[in-house]
Amino acid sequence: MSVALVTGASRGLGLTLARALAERGWRLVIDAREPRALEVARTELASRADVVAVPGDVADPRHREGLAVVVRDAGGLDLLVNNASVLGPSPQPGLADYPIEELERVYRVNAVAPLALTQLLLPQLRAGTGRTVVNVTSDAAVEPYAGWGGYGSSKAALDQLSAILGAEHPELRVYAFDPGDMRTRMHQDAFPGEDISDRPEPESVVPPLLRLVDGELPSGRYRASDPALAPEGRG
């Protein structure tokens, strides 16, 4: 049975992806910072899959060690999805006024933690059959949006970490996946008081993400809208 670890899986893209993997019969390890929300997600997923939920913050080394223990107990790892992230202050300040302590926190969660978790799980990933790492990134990593300097630069760091990991570990497939705008709580937090109902639901980007996981594309950065991830016969 294939095993996946999905961080930030209590809501949004993480939960939607976990649902899709559960439908496919994957064994799941999930985490999130909010224990109650995570338990609701675990209960739902447990009706369809073998799932272990570990509440905690990926920026906490002890939590990452706990995840690694659970993964080893699950018998290995085929897919690591580093989806957990934080936006930073809301409304988002310009870089000239960005609190440095908050910036450090954003970097710890969005860039350092995915690398640290990947380091811990490399033996299990190499031993698995999928050997896939997906780091969820953002178009803010490549576009200079005013007010997105903290979050965007942390995702730019994640992009580069992903690219170098892919170059250094050809035995793995390491992807930076940009889902584009989605109707999620984080996106709403980025635009407080605004109507974001025109943004697509996370369900819309899971099919291209699964095509990335299922396929044989080389390590690299991919957007949900990339022709390479279009349904067969399109694009």
What CATH number has the domain bearing residue 52?
3.40.50.720
What SS3 state is found at 178?
strand
Residues 19, 45 contacting (CB under 8 angstroms): yes
Residue 146 lies in a domain: yes
Residue 234 lies in a domain: no
Q: pTM of the prediction?
A: 0.93
Phi-psi region of 233 (alpha: psi -120 to 50; beta: other; left: phi over 0): left
Structure tokens at 106: 């954003």
Residues 6+ apart with CB under 8 A from 140: 148, 151, 152, 155
pLDDT, position 234: 47
**pLDDT tens per residue, range 122-176:** 999 999 889 999 999 999 999 999 989 999 999 999 999 999 999 999 999 999 9
The boundaries of the domain holding residue 114 are 3-229
What total number of domains does the chain contain? Answer: 1
Residue 79 lies in a domain: yes
108: Cα within 13 Å, side-chain hemisphere:
12
Structure tokens at 68: 């690694």
Residue 36 lies in a domain: yes
